[in-house]
Amino acid sequence: METRRFNVTGVCVPDKHYMVDISGKVRQIRAMIDQGLYFTINRGRQYGKTTTINALCGALADDYICVWISLEGLGRASFETEEAFCPVFLRLVQRALHFTSVAGETAYIERWMDPSVKDFVALNDHLSTMCEGRKIVLMIDEADAFISLRTYLSFLGLLRDKYLKRSTGRDFTFQSVILAGVVDIRNIKMKMIKEGIYTPAAQENTDHISPWNIAAPFDVDMSFHPAEIATMLSEYEADHHTGMDIAGIAEEIYRWTSGYPFLVSRICMLIDGSAEKKWNNEGIFHAVKLLLDERNTLFDDIFKNMEMYQDLYDYVYDILIRGAEKAYSPYNPTLSWALMFCFLKVADGKVLVHNRVFELCICDYFMSREDDRSRRQTMQSGVLKHDVVREGRFDMELALRKFARHFRTIYTERDADFFERHGRLLFLSYLAPLINGDGFYHIESQLTNLQRMDIVVNYGRDEFVIELKLWRGETAREDALTQLAGYLAGRGASAGYLVTFDLRQEPHRTPKEEWVEAGPCRIFDVVL
């Protein structure tokens, strides 16, 4: 028997791969199909869309004819005209039918490929004939591949018109149509604007700008929660008998990934592929380090979109680096775009980076983008790793003292605006090369705002909690010490670090570097 493995490429198959039990999600989607709804499944790259569709086909097979087609690999020529599109679409449907419950109905399958169907008027009639008396569910994967092309939009408009007529008993059509992809077809106008296709001069070519306004809301949570991650780990444990704490490992993986499917499976794959196979927090920590050091299509896609859309770059930068608090609004196009790509999420009305792994890789990306000459100069501190590592232990106090001296040599009052906006990134750019290889940091995004940023650094077996603040007066600094002490106590830590950027004009600035007592904790208090 072939040994199962973890999988992050293509569709996951239960007989070959360790998989999260998504039957609950499939039941929710089936309920929408039973109601005859049309909808979209739009999530970020590698969010399990194809695997979900595959599982859905299996669950529907006894009651529906599931026609699963994909637009991936088709050329633009297939969408240039109705005459070009119609035979391509019918051929895709015909091929898919060979793997459905009507596979033995050769005559029916052959009738789908009608050479007389050369335009959408004929296609409309043909679909009515072929769907009459049949419960056909049409699933279009990679449905966003050609959504800016007029012929494709017209085709979606045809499906919409047939759906509306079916509701009044005046037509036969598909039981349900599901469009799966990254870009939501309902956001077609936003995509066309960003790509420069939708302009006042081109409005005559965008008369089908809302071809899918019949779509029902798709509210199924496709992320993996700890109890769901545990189902995959249980399968693995049954085969390998590692003795892992399944519930605890599932919680820790979720803490890093917020259930992003690719990240969950990739971390498990990296642990399984390691020589030690440590199914504990240390093993997860090591797997995250390996994940952040590799190139993968998910991270590349994040960086590509940040490069393409400056407004998206600025929006995420403000949240992650500046700590700007962004409230959710359905009318913010940049936020809608970021949520659609699953870079960000909304929790309790607050916009956050989707998960800790994304926080780290996006921070690294921001640091790599800081190519302005003056910024490069400020980042070159001259401090090397061996300067702050003693017998394998990281000396955070010494590292902060050296950073303070570096900051004082580069800071001038005319740079106050620069340091207020980029000071946190400057600190991370200083810290990252000192801990790389043996440790890394993550940002406690739930606590980040314009007043403070909490950074947790793991180096070997040591953990350091650092709070970065802008100077807002002595009272605010005392409050910060109290807040940090409470946070440290909650983590079971006895020591922490407070770094305050004092950007006031001389002689008001009061630099300091000293240990202070704050309740049961000691805090190294640095004012720059």
DSSP string, 271-299: HHHSSS---SHHHHHHHHHHHHHS--HHH
In this prediction, residue 194 carries a pLDDT of 54
Residues 52-102: tens digit of each pLDDT: 999 999 999 999 999 999 998 898 899 999 999 999 999 999 999 999 999
Find how far residue 425's CA is from the centre of its chain: 22
CA pair distance 16, 18, nearest whole angstrom:
7
In this prediction, residue 174 carries a pLDDT of 98
Residues 228-286: tens digit of each pLDDT: 999 999 999 999 999 999 999 999 999 999 999 999 999 999 999 998 999 999 999 89
CB-based burial, 268-280: b 16+ in 10 Å, e otherwise:
bbbbbeeeeebbb
In this prediction, residue 374 carries a pLDDT of 45
In this prediction, residue 128 carries a pLDDT of 98
From 93-102, 324-333, 439-448, the region with the lowest mean pLDDT = 439-448
In this prediction, residue 526 carries a pLDDT of 94
Phi-psi region of 259 (alpha: psi -120 to 50; beta: other; left: phi over 0): left
Tallying the residues shown for the chain, one arrives at 528
Helix then strand count (H, E) for the chain reads 20, 14
Higher-scoring residue by pLDDT: 501, 446: 501
Which of 270, 225, 287, 223 is CA-nearest to residue 47? 223
**387-399 mean pLDDT:** 92
Residue 307, strand partner residues: none
In this prediction, residue 190 carries a pLDDT of 54
Higher-scoring residue by pLDDT: 519, 122: 122
Give the relative orientation of helices 23-34 and 49-60 as an angle to the nearest 10 degrees: 60
Give every CB contact of residue 359 below 8 A, 6+ residues apart in sequence: 320, 353, 442, 443, 445
Is residue 203's pLDDT more than 50? no
In this prediction, residue 383 carries a pLDDT of 85
Residue 379: pLDDT band (50, 70, 90) is: low
Residues 351-376: tens digit of each pLDDT: 999 999 999 899 889 888 865 544 55
Residues 134-156: tens digit of each pLDDT: 999 999 998 888 877 889 999 99
In this prediction, residue 451 carries a pLDDT of 65
Residues 94-131: tens digit of each pLDDT: 999 999 999 999 999 999 999 999 999 999 999 999 99
Strand boundaries in 94-249, DSSP class E: 136-141, 176-181
In this prediction, residue 407 carries a pLDDT of 86
Percent of the chain with pLDDT over 70: 91
Is residue 317's pLDDT more than 80? yes
Is residue 22's pLDDT more than 80? yes
Average pLDDT, the chain: 88
Percent of the chain with pLDDT over 90: 57
